[in-house]
Amino acid sequence: MDSVRPNTSGEITLQGIPVSRGIGIAPIHVVARGFNAPEVYRITDVEFEKQRFSAALERTKEQLTELQKRIESISGEKDSQIFEAHLMMLEDRAIVDKVNEAIANRGQNAEFALYAVAQNFLEAMRRVPDPYLRERTADIEDVCQRVLRNFSQEDQRDSAPQEQHVLVAYDLSPSDTAAMNRQLLLGFATELGSVNSHTAILARSLGIPAVVGIEGAVLAVKALTPAILDGYSGKLILDPTEETLHHYSELKKEKDRVRHELEAQRDDAAITSDGRAITLSANIELVEELPLVQNSGAKGIGLYRTEFLLLNGEELPGENQQTETYTRLAQALAPHPLIIRTLDAGGDKLPIEPLTEPEPNPFLGWRGIRVSLDRPDMFKEQLRAILRASAHGRVAVMFPLVSGIKEVRRGKDMIKECMDELASQDIPFDENLETGVMIEVPSAAVIADLIAPEVDFFSIGTNDLIQYTVAVDRVNHHVADLYRPTHPAVIRLIKRTIDAGTANGIWTGVCGEMAGDILLTPLLLGLGVEELSVGPHQVPRVRRAIRALSHAECSAMAEEALQTPLSLDILEMTSTLASKYYPELVD
């Protein structure tokens, strides 16, 4: 097993993906759970089964409401909103009606009818190519599991240990995570999960160290085994030596000290030591992440990905529903900005129009702004919703995957059409709505000087820019080592974009993974970036990095980097500055 590394002392290290920072040192508690099929049997009284289903729904609503109150008492009202989607599922008439129909049509018990309906929906979700949307199946499973348990009046919860422990599980649902005793749970590790799952978001919100993606974790560990969970590097260490225990005990003390310092600096401005101000924003995908943004001290949202809002269902949400969501965010963030990226998804992800055949190369196919421009009715619904929300806060719109100036102009023309439509109906909106583009395609970076006069800002999506520039799919293990953020071509394209923006009086930000990598902060500042938009949990660290650095020194380093031919040498240059000015942050 690749994720397991033993040493001669008997100490074993299991490697996973870190999703919530922190260190937990305690014995292991193991939980193996799954979404198993309930017993199935024939029924004679359909109405009685429907009543049983209704009663289970009501018990589930009561439990989720209690969980909301628990989270609110721990970390505030906003964090508890992560269960709003769960409650909405329970009240979704389409789902409830399908289960009731299945009870009648199948002539089988309500538990199995619910399971059958849920499995059909989950299977459709699992086939969605977008990994982020596939992860949302965990939320559906969570709700269904809870309803299934509530067909019985008996308390079927797993008995939790009454001493401090590190939890190891195949997977954890958001409600499992929320119900944990924070005084006893010192961290958890799972086989499934991702950085963007609701469970990971809750772990970060509650301050629980967490690691996911450890292959075979449940079978690899034994209950009560002494362990260390490293939420910084993604390690679960079993039977640690005294030397390892001492190392992590000291490391935990140091990390806790730094974390408290970062929290205390939440309201400090992101200004370099020689006075250059940087706008530090947050990236989000879920409205539920808003509390994390506010608690981080980020100055607004620099990238709101709308794919989950638009594609998390059998049909696209209407204009009013979109307006409500965008308005809620804009009002909560005011006076800071909310930058909304229009739909960035391939045609194979559109629930209203599934492709009959997969595209041969979807990364070079029908996606991003191309889909929106080809489906103007869908696009205009989103644009009108954004415009309507702009009357309630500082809202901007951003087009993804722009490759040329024609796409920019067509997008702006459609915004103008929407403005005229809203004006004719006396619906208020910001007539000066700022419009920006994502620079993710090399062609857009090369002609950034031509695009700049057309827009109000640039936001560089480094993930796609890197992979398109060096022709490397970073998830392909055969070539993943060639995916290098410091490739000379990449940093030259970033510099070209920034210079084009500066020459035309518009700002340039970075919203890809490079923005949150504190080893690369000196390089980005030196290249002239004016805004960084990162995950909410990364904001405190990036703020500290910015405040520790001298812009003049970073600029001198960047000038040298632009003349350096090897990416590893450039990485060494920027890492040296990072280690010099904030060694306590460099893991």
Token pair belonging to 527 = 């290249």
Residue 280 gets the label, from left (phi > 0), alpha (psi -120 to 50) or beta, of: beta
Which of 401, 278, 275 is closest to 346 using CA atoms? Answer: 401
Token pair belonging to 476 = 């392909």
H-assigned helices in 344-487: 369-374, 376-389, 405-424, 442-446, 448-451, 462-470
Gap between the Cα atoms of 557 and 451, Å rounded: 28
CA 417, distance to chain mean position in Å, is 32
Gap between the Cα atoms of 9 and 278, Å rounded: 48
Per the annotation, the verdict on 247 as an active-site residue is: no
**3-class secondary-structure state, position 19:** strand
**3-class secondary-structure state, position 14:** strand
Burial 2-33 (b: 16+ CB within 10 A, else e): ebbeeeeeebbbbbbebbbbbbbbbbbbbbee
Gap between the Cα atoms of 163 and 532, Å rounded: 42
> How is residue 280 annotated by DSSP?
E
Contact 486, 462 (CB under 8 A): no
Burial of 413 (0-12, 13-18, 19+ CB in 10 A): exposed
Among residues 418, 511, 537, 554, the one annotated as catalytic is: 511
Per the annotation, the verdict on 477 as an active-site residue is: no
Token pair belonging to 459 = 């936001």
Which of 307, 397, 312, 386 is closest to 346 using CA atoms? Answer: 307
Contacts of 299 (CB under 8 A, 6+ apart): 270, 279, 280, 281, 336, 337
Among residues 29, 165, 198, 551, the one annotated as catalytic is: 198
Which residue is associated with the tokens 């595209």?
Answer: 359
Catalytic positions: 198, 511
